[in-house]
Amino acid sequence: MKHLPNLLTLANLFSGCIAIVFILNSQPYLASFNGEEYWVTATEQAYWGSVFIALAAIFDVLDGFTARALKVFSPIGKDLDSLADVVSFGVAPSMILFKMLWAAYMGKPGALDVSMLAMSPAFLVACFGALRLARFNISSNEQKAWFIGMPIPAAGLLVASFPLINWFNPMGLGVMFQQPWLLYAVIALVCWLMVSKVRFFKFIPAKWNIASMWPQLVVIAVALVAIPFINVAAIPLAFIIYIILSLVYQPKEA
């Protein structure tokens, strides 16, 4: 049983690797919205890439929960968790952004002349995510009720929702993601949030009572109410609420 947390961490890493494989094999196709054609990267492969990133997040939660339940902690487990996270929530989401940038440029005039370097900012998410994890590993004891900077799993899940938005195109957001400047702005924002000094409350509360859990409950309630109206766009909406509440709510240390 003492090896169960590490096995779950490896399942996180395995899921992240499978996600990368699906994303690499995704091919764009032309879709139409209000008579306007645009390139979509969210083929079935990219869809499954998002699913496996979400699965990696589940394993990431379970390994921490299992380690606390079994009271099994080790430096190897801590480092292994960071290595798995940088793949599942750093490299895999970066591949999604790379593919989306590529598709965005393919819909522009002179697409064949676009340098591959134009897509390279996508990998800043992996780089800043690695920096975020390294900083967390040396300061985790100071972060009991909150994280300093957005945790990389949250950033990874946010990006993982983009192929779904491309696919279902709620409120025309899939069309908007065909603008390279918007993708660059998202990359810059996500990178900054991960290494910022903003205190983000932990989604698993330190105490299971309304006084401690109300921010988490608000995020969940907003997402559930929004799903019937805006479909998968409820995911980035939930993250916007998470960011806003983290800015205004400062939990006390446990």
What CA–CA distances, in Å, run from 81 to 106, 166, 250? 37, 30, 26
243 located within any domain: no
**Any domain includes 240:** no
**For the chain, which ranges sit under pLDDT 50?**
42, 254
Q: Look at residue 241 and tell me if it is in a domain.
A: no
CATH classification at residue 20: 1.20.120.1760
Q: Is residue 121 part of a domain?
A: yes
In whole angstroms, give the CA distance from residue 243 to residue 247. 6
Q: What is the pLDDT of residue 142?
A: 66
Domain count, the chain: 1
Query: Is the residue at 237 inside a domain?
Result: no
- C-alpha distances (whole Å) from 36 to each of 167, 174, 178, 185, 253 are 15, 12, 12, 23, 52
pLDDT tens column, 138-166: 876 666 678 889 999 999 999 999 988 98
Task: Look up residue 151 and give its amino acid.
Answer: P
Which stretches of 15-144 are assigned E, i.e. beta strand?
A: 29-33, 36-40
153 part of a folded domain:
yes
Domain range spanning residue 136?
4-198
